[in-house]
Amino acid sequence: MIVSSAPHLQQPADLLFVLACWLSCAIWAGVGAYKLCHRHEMIEIIRSRAIPWPVAAYMASTAAELIGALLVGTQIAVTEGALIWLAFLLVVTPIFHGAVLRDGAIDYPHFVQLLKNLSIAGGLLALILIDLGRRSPPAEPFSAYRSGVVTPHAVNDQDKSQ
Protein backbone atom coordinates (compact mmCIF):
# COMPACT_ATOMS: atom_id res chain seq x y z
CA MET A 1 0.00 0.00 0.00
CA ILE A 2 1.22 3.48 -0.84
CA VAL A 3 1.19 5.80 2.14
CA SER A 4 0.17 9.36 1.42
CA SER A 5 -0.96 12.32 3.47
CA ALA A 6 -3.75 12.93 0.94
CA PRO A 7 -6.77 10.87 2.04
CA HIS A 8 -7.81 10.15 -1.56
CA LEU A 9 -4.38 8.67 -2.48
CA GLN A 10 -4.17 5.75 -0.07
CA GLN A 11 -4.18 2.88 -2.58
CA PRO A 12 -2.12 2.20 -5.72
CA ALA A 13 -5.38 2.26 -7.69
CA ASP A 14 -5.98 5.82 -6.49
CA LEU A 15 -2.60 6.91 -7.78
CA LEU A 16 -3.20 5.18 -11.09
CA PHE A 17 -6.56 6.93 -11.41
CA VAL A 18 -4.92 10.33 -10.87
CA LEU A 19 -2.20 9.43 -13.37
CA ALA A 20 -4.85 8.35 -15.92
CA CYS A 21 -6.66 11.66 -15.43
CA TRP A 22 -3.47 13.67 -15.92
CA LEU A 23 -2.41 11.70 -18.99
CA SER A 24 -5.89 12.11 -20.47
CA CYS A 25 -5.57 15.86 -20.02
CA ALA A 26 -2.35 16.11 -22.01
CA ILE A 27 -3.86 16.35 -25.47
CA TRP A 28 -6.79 18.51 -24.38
CA ALA A 29 -4.76 21.03 -22.40
CA GLY A 30 -2.05 21.14 -25.06
CA VAL A 31 -4.43 21.69 -27.97
CA GLY A 32 -6.52 24.17 -25.98
CA ALA A 33 -3.41 26.18 -25.08
CA TYR A 34 -2.22 26.09 -28.69
CA LYS A 35 -5.61 27.34 -29.87
CA LEU A 36 -5.45 30.22 -27.38
CA CYS A 37 -2.06 31.25 -28.79
CA HIS A 38 -3.10 30.84 -32.45
CA ARG A 39 -6.64 32.21 -32.41
CA HIS A 40 -6.77 33.65 -35.94
CA GLU A 41 -5.20 30.57 -37.53
CA MET A 42 -7.69 28.30 -35.75
CA ILE A 43 -10.67 30.42 -36.77
CA GLU A 44 -9.52 30.26 -40.41
CA ILE A 45 -9.25 26.46 -40.21
CA ILE A 46 -12.78 26.32 -38.81
CA ARG A 47 -14.00 28.73 -41.50
CA SER A 48 -12.36 26.59 -44.23
CA ARG A 49 -14.53 23.65 -43.14
CA ALA A 50 -17.66 25.80 -43.68
CA ILE A 51 -18.62 25.50 -40.02
CA PRO A 52 -21.23 28.13 -39.15
CA TRP A 53 -20.20 30.91 -36.77
CA PRO A 54 -16.46 30.12 -36.81
CA VAL A 55 -15.61 32.48 -33.94
CA ALA A 56 -18.29 30.95 -31.71
CA ALA A 57 -17.18 27.45 -32.76
CA TYR A 58 -13.58 28.35 -31.90
CA MET A 59 -14.59 29.67 -28.49
CA ALA A 60 -16.83 26.67 -27.72
CA SER A 61 -14.23 24.10 -28.79
CA THR A 62 -11.42 25.79 -26.89
CA ALA A 63 -13.60 26.10 -23.79
CA ALA A 64 -14.58 22.41 -24.02
CA GLU A 65 -10.94 21.35 -24.22
CA LEU A 66 -9.72 23.55 -21.37
CA ILE A 67 -12.72 23.21 -19.03
CA GLY A 68 -12.61 19.44 -19.49
CA ALA A 69 -8.88 19.49 -18.69
CA LEU A 70 -9.54 21.46 -15.52
CA LEU A 71 -12.35 19.17 -14.36
CA VAL A 72 -10.53 15.92 -15.13
CA GLY A 73 -7.01 17.05 -14.23
CA THR A 74 -8.04 18.19 -10.76
CA GLN A 75 -10.51 15.29 -10.33
CA ILE A 76 -13.18 17.85 -9.37
CA ALA A 77 -15.65 16.35 -11.83
CA VAL A 78 -14.04 13.60 -13.92
CA THR A 79 -17.27 12.23 -15.36
CA GLU A 80 -18.52 15.67 -16.34
CA GLY A 81 -15.20 16.64 -17.94
CA ALA A 82 -15.02 13.36 -19.85
CA LEU A 83 -18.60 13.84 -21.08
CA ILE A 84 -17.68 17.30 -22.37
CA TRP A 85 -14.78 15.75 -24.28
CA LEU A 86 -16.95 12.93 -25.63
CA ALA A 87 -19.48 15.47 -26.93
CA PHE A 88 -16.60 17.39 -28.52
CA LEU A 89 -15.32 14.22 -30.22
CA LEU A 90 -18.79 13.32 -31.43
CA VAL A 91 -19.11 16.67 -33.20
CA VAL A 92 -15.54 17.25 -34.39
CA THR A 93 -14.44 13.80 -35.54
CA PRO A 94 -16.78 13.47 -38.54
CA ILE A 95 -16.12 17.07 -39.60
CA PHE A 96 -12.32 16.94 -39.52
CA HIS A 97 -11.54 13.22 -39.91
CA GLY A 98 -14.61 11.67 -41.52
CA ALA A 99 -13.14 11.56 -45.05
CA VAL A 100 -11.10 8.40 -44.56
CA LEU A 101 -11.53 7.36 -48.19
CA ARG A 102 -10.29 9.65 -50.97
CA ASP A 103 -10.15 8.63 -54.61
CA GLY A 104 -10.88 5.01 -53.68
CA ALA A 105 -7.95 4.72 -51.26
CA ILE A 106 -7.51 5.19 -47.55
CA ASP A 107 -6.33 8.67 -46.61
CA TYR A 108 -3.86 7.47 -44.00
CA PRO A 109 -3.55 10.66 -41.88
CA HIS A 110 -7.34 10.94 -41.52
CA PHE A 111 -7.60 7.20 -40.91
CA VAL A 112 -5.10 7.45 -38.03
CA GLN A 113 -6.83 10.55 -36.59
CA LEU A 114 -10.22 8.82 -36.74
CA LEU A 115 -8.88 5.76 -34.94
CA LYS A 116 -7.04 7.97 -32.41
CA ASN A 117 -10.31 9.71 -31.58
CA LEU A 118 -12.07 6.36 -31.18
CA SER A 119 -9.29 5.22 -28.82
CA ILE A 120 -9.57 8.43 -26.82
CA ALA A 121 -13.34 7.92 -26.58
CA GLY A 122 -12.75 4.41 -25.22
CA GLY A 123 -10.37 5.75 -22.59
CA LEU A 124 -12.85 8.44 -21.62
CA LEU A 125 -15.59 5.85 -21.18
CA ALA A 126 -13.24 3.87 -18.92
CA LEU A 127 -12.49 7.01 -16.86
CA ILE A 128 -16.22 7.64 -16.49
CA LEU A 129 -16.87 4.08 -15.31
CA ILE A 130 -14.02 4.25 -12.80
CA ASP A 131 -15.12 7.66 -11.54
CA LEU A 132 -18.72 6.56 -11.11
CA GLY A 133 -17.53 3.50 -9.20
CA ARG A 134 -15.41 5.69 -6.95
CA ARG A 135 -18.41 7.92 -6.23
CA SER A 136 -20.60 4.98 -5.19
CA PRO A 137 -20.60 3.97 -1.55
CA PRO A 138 -18.90 0.63 -0.99
CA ALA A 139 -21.38 -2.20 -0.90
CA GLU A 140 -21.22 -4.74 1.87
CA PRO A 141 -21.48 -8.22 0.41
CA PHE A 142 -24.82 -9.84 1.10
CA SER A 143 -26.02 -6.87 3.18
CA ALA A 144 -29.56 -7.20 1.85
CA TYR A 145 -29.65 -10.83 2.96
CA ARG A 146 -28.27 -10.08 6.42
CA SER A 147 -30.76 -7.31 7.06
CA GLY A 148 -33.67 -9.58 6.24
CA VAL A 149 -34.90 -7.28 3.49
CA VAL A 150 -34.22 -9.89 0.83
CA THR A 151 -34.10 -13.63 1.31
CA PRO A 152 -32.56 -16.09 -1.10
CA HIS A 153 -36.03 -17.54 -1.71
CA ALA A 154 -37.49 -14.13 -2.53
CA VAL A 155 -34.77 -13.49 -5.11
CA ASN A 156 -35.34 -16.92 -6.71
CA ASP A 157 -39.13 -16.43 -6.71
CA GLN A 158 -38.76 -13.02 -8.31
CA ASP A 159 -36.52 -14.42 -11.05
CA LYS A 160 -39.07 -17.15 -11.82
CA SER A 161 -41.95 -14.69 -12.10
CA GLN A 162 -40.27 -12.70 -14.87
Considering only CA atoms, which of 20, 127, 39 is closest in space to residue 84?
127
Check: CB of residue 131 under 8 Å from CB of residue 124.
no
pLDDT over 70 (residue 134): yes
pLDDT by residue (tens digit) across 102-131?
A: 778 888 888 898 999 999 999 999 999 999
* Residue 101 within a domain: yes
* Residue 1 within a domain: no
Please state the domain count of the chain. 1
Q: What percent of the chain has pLDDT over 90?
A: 53
Check: CB of residue 69 under 8 Å from CB of residue 25.
yes
* Residue 66 within a domain: yes
Q: Which domain holds residue 26?
A: 12-154
* Residue 161 within a domain: no
- With b for 16 or more beta-carbon neighbours within 10 A and e for fewer, the 64-97 pattern comes to bbbbbbbbbbebebbbebbebbbebbeebbeebb
* Residue 4 within a domain: no
* Residue 2 within a domain: no
* Residue 103 within a domain: yes
Residues 6+ apart with CB under 8 A from 145: 151, 152
Pick the residue with more confidence: 159 or 79? 79
Residues 6+ apart with CB under 8 A from 68: 25, 28, 81, 82, 84, 85, 88
* Residue 159 within a domain: no
